[in-house]
Structure 1
């Protein structure tokens, strides 16, 4: 049976939704789980969006939410001309696509990073919607989950929401964190990298930041952490990939690298991550981060705290350290200092992580998905 991947965009386009559909599709095609993606183009609906938002503003005083409407999902899916009278398997990344009244011949499963309620509450997107409309959206999502075959979540955080906020049978809900958004064929061609040296004035401790949103993903906390480590006599720098350097604060420990294209400059991207002593993620809100998985795929341990779906990307203590939500910089600095002493112990710990690389790949994730969906 034809098994297609569905998302708000074109899954064959690397730029769609943080690369996740692209890498899932490539691994799914190789595994046989997927036979293709359904190309959709939400950007073509911009005029419909403007008209709909204006109508919402006039009716309710709040213009947002076109992407959650029936009009959006139907208009987005219409050009694909999917046959309503033929069996079809759809794996959708968006819990409102297709609308819950999809044809009886279809089986729809969802693979999501967060529920819409979590997007509204934790990312603050709900404030743009009128209260009545917001409730309509959540009810349509509940109906879609009830009718779906399975709801696979990228984190236990999202799975708990599906079960508790939407009243869905736990037997239908699963957790598969997914994999690192890195091309395995390119990684296999790269030579092994040397482990980073012990921190010193000439070679400071490297804490890595990966992502565009400096504020939300904990950048300011990392500067506090660098200062706390300096006070303990550990020279430290923050290596930041993603944020525009023009919008970052001036700080002696911050070393902005700008955007690194991990597809066209794979060797440079990989060498940079492998030079870090730790990847980091201390977000204020986070659903299913790829940055942790990319670090782990490359054998780099991660420091994070337990917010949102972050915990599902650190399966055990061999992968790094998960701190209680919003830790004090001094506490994290104390843990790092203890982990680095003796430095041989750190190297042994890190050497044990590297052979586990396949756990954090999309190939492994697709194998888990196949056991659930087939």
Structure 2
């Protein structure tokens, strides 16, 4: 029986407050997931927020371990915090007839849940990938690494469906945590804005008379700012007139150039600043973020909606958003400014190749790098999961008769 037209009763489980979500890297993503599921899948109700003194205690422990041991303690991922979350969430979930629980970045929230409601865990990575890859997950005290990894195991085992935005993360969940392949899927996230530019406008995009590179990032070091600066200098050596716009961070003082512009911050919620951001996407020739570590990158989806090709690094989950030769190109992590400059020069100097890349970048956005595409796919996967559970239950009952 096809039940995909049936609207589900969805519990959105996240312990964070609205302000916490706004401050976190997952803030906008949780809101997009909620809006998309409300549109395509069912009626969404937040089960959080969940306050716990265990979190405050964890922050104190983290400060102490950093001060005394020079090591990190992941206060958001502890057994005590997970148990306190479950204690609050269990009766809330039991009080209403939910069909499914959605847990975005919610491994700690679901690890000790006691519920028969099927759980959908949405994560951009897992602990096995993040450990010693992101700075915040590096140099951990042994107990913290152990508890975080065990919580990951429990959450993956408890979830009926696991969604990642990249094959990098999905494959790791299967290989490192021995998850059932049938319940793990890679579905790319979309661009975090409401209105993409008209496709007719994008298809008329031409390369500039000098190569405009757009570096959009809040972390100069992790996003490869030094390499971006090197690339600007190397393009000059290759005879390519170029400029580099830095947006979202302020480089260290030694990185200065007459054709480098720095915009410390643009707030999309302020119309004038949002328009300035849109203009940068529309008028740049490449989104250039030679990142050192990334789990995905919604900014690559946003660039694609403008027909703006991405130049980045083949690391982490970036290849979940950037497909080689379609909406950009990825170089290995060891590549430096010369290699990036040579790649950019080849593409920029080939007008026909650049024009084709603009069109295929926008096609990638229209086909899969948007939230509607995510919502349609995820709605189907959720219904398939629910049907499997119903079928297994019916088989179990008939086997006992």
* Cα offset, 1:227, TM superposition: 1.0
196, 204, 215: which is aligned to 1:209? 215
Q: Which runs of 5+ in 2 are unaligned?
A: 1-7, 384-401
CA contact (8 A) 1:245 1:257 kept: no
141, 145, 158: which is aligned to 1:134? 145
Q: Tell me whether 1:257 sits opposite 2:276 in the alignment.
A: no
CA contact (8 A) 2:28 2:192 kept: yes
- Aligned counterparts, 1:213-292, within 5 A: 213-244=219-250, 249-265=255-271, 266-292=274-300
CA contact (8 A) 1:163 1:173 kept: yes
351, 354, 360: which is aligned to 2:362? 354
Q: Tell me whether 1:113 sits opposite 2:120 in the alignment.
A: no
Give the equivalent residue in structure 2 for 1:30: 39
CA contact (8 A) 1:114 1:153 kept: yes
Distance in 2 (CA, whole Å) between partners of 1:267 and 1:57 is 41
Distance in 1 (CA, whole Å) between partners of 2:11 and 2:33 is 11
Give the equivalent residue in structure 2 for 1:183: 194
CA contact (8 A) 2:72 2:138 kept: no
Which secondary structure state, in structure 1, belongs to the residue aligned with residue 94 of structure 2?
A: coil
**Once the two structures are superposed, what CA deviation does each residue of 1:239-260 show, in whole Å capped at 9, x if it has no partner?**
1111146778323342111211
**Once the two structures are superposed, what CA deviation does each residue of 1:126-166 show, in whole Å capped at 9, x if it has no partner?**
44533134223212321221121011111111112211211
Distance in 2 (CA, whole Å) between partners of 1:351 and 1:57 is 49
CA contact (8 A) 1:65 1:128 kept: no
Give the equivalent residue in structure 1 for 2:9: 2
Distance in 1 (CA, whole Å) between partners of 2:66 and 2:248 is 35
TM-score w.r.t. the length of structure 2 is 0.81
After superposition, the CA RMSD in angstroms is 3.2
* Cα offset, 1:363, TM superposition: 1.2
**Once the two structures are superposed, what CA deviation does each residue of 1:62-81 show, in whole Å capped at 9, x if it has no partner?**
66222101332344566665
**Once the two structures are superposed, what CA deviation does each residue of 1:8-48 show, in whole Å capped at 9, x if it has no partner?**
52469655425111122112211134513334266987643
CA contact (8 A) 2:219 2:249 kept: yes
Give the equivalent residue in structure 2 for 1:297: 305
TM-score w.r.t. the length of structure 1 is 0.86
* Cα offset, 1:122, TM superposition: 0.7
C-alpha spacing 1:11/1:159, structure 2 compared with 1 (3 Å): farther
C-alpha spacing 1:57/1:214, structure 2 compared with 1 (3 Å): closer
Q: Which runs of 5+ in 1 are unaligned?
A: none
* Alignment coverage as a number of residue pairs: 368
CA contact (8 A) 1:86 1:105 kept: no
Distance in 1 (CA, whole Å) between partners of 2:342 and 2:246 is 22
84, 87, 105: which is aligned to 2:94? 84
CA contact (8 A) 1:223 1:253 kept: no
Which secondary structure state, in structure 1, belongs to the residue aligned with residue 143 of structure 2?
A: helix
